[in-house]
Amino acid sequence: MLNWSPCRDCAVRDDALCGAVPLEELTQLNRNAHRKRYRPGSVILASGERPDWHANIISGVVKLTLALPDGRQQIVGLLFAADFLGRPFKDIAPYTAEAATVVELCCFGRRHFEQLIEAQSGVRRLFIERTLDAVDAARDWMMLLGCKSAEERVATLILLMARRRRAEWCEPCVQRQMLTIDLPLSRTDMAEYLGLRIETVSRQLRRLATAGVIETSSRRTVTVRNLAALERMVSG
């Protein structure tokens, strides 16, 4: 048996909550963790279920959705690599979690994680800050859903996706307006996130393209051609 540690080689080791776990605790963490993979569109956790685990996202994008009895749906949050998926201190899941892309999770026991929060002040602090950030993000999105026009909403989403890759922005890329984004969301997903219909999303994307702000090479690919104009459109 090699002395291999999944945590040591983890892609999100430094960004996830585990980053605050001291090395000597990692072995313990390893024992209680296991990985899971999901295909795009598959339900990770249905609202109302009682999962016995929480998870970190290793890779992929997870949609959190709320649904009305008549079928109307709203995406209430998106989770990316290194984000935490779970609702500590509550038995039943408040939303449905669904894989938007191929998703890889690192799962660990609920109780174990809740004890970790109690015991490890570093993890706890990180968890609290992330939860507070989640409140802010949700409220920012309330502003979008309550106030903004369809055009502003779509522009906001594009910019949001672009900014997630800000680390990868190189000066020449920005200068030459060659910021290319692979959308992790289908038109339906975008519509459900933005509080619009897919037809409206499609039309607004076209408008942005004809205005020369973006370019839609393929369905899932958007290139930002005029960053300044895009930033002006989101108004906020």
Site residues for DNA per CB under 7 A: 149-151, 186-188, 195-203, 205-206, 216, 218-220
Residue 121 interacts with which of a copy of itself, DNA, none, CB < 5 to 8 Å by class: a copy of itself
Which residues contact residue 184 at a Cβ distance below 8 angstroms, ignoring those fewer than 6 apart?
60, 61, 100, 101, 161
Which residues contact residue 202 at a Cβ distance below 8 angstroms, ignoring those fewer than 6 apart?
187
DSSP-derived secondary structure letter, 214: E
Instruction: Enumerate residues 2-61 that contact a copy of itself by CB under 8 A.
Output: none
Out of 2, 135, 167, 228, name the contact with a copy of itself by CB under 8 A. Answer: 135
Residue 135 interacts with which of a copy of itself, DNA, none, CB < 5 to 8 Å by class: a copy of itself
Out of 51, 60, 77, 184, name the contact with a copy of itself by CB under 8 A. Answer: 77
Q: Which amino acid is at 112?
A: H
Q: What are the φ and ψ backbone dihedral angles of 43, each rounded to 5 degrees?
A: -85, 120
Given the structure tokens 């906001």, which residue do they identify? 156
Rounded distance, CA 142 to CA 161, Å? 18
Residue 201 interacts with which of a copy of itself, DNA, none, CB < 5 to 8 Å by class: DNA
Residue 205 interacts with which of a copy of itself, DNA, none, CB < 5 to 8 Å by class: DNA
Write out the residues near a copy of itself by the rule CB under 8 A. 64, 66, 68-70, 72-74, 76-77, 87-90, 94-95, 117-118, 121, 124-125, 127-129, 131-132, 134-136, 138-143, 145-148, 192, 194-195, 235-236
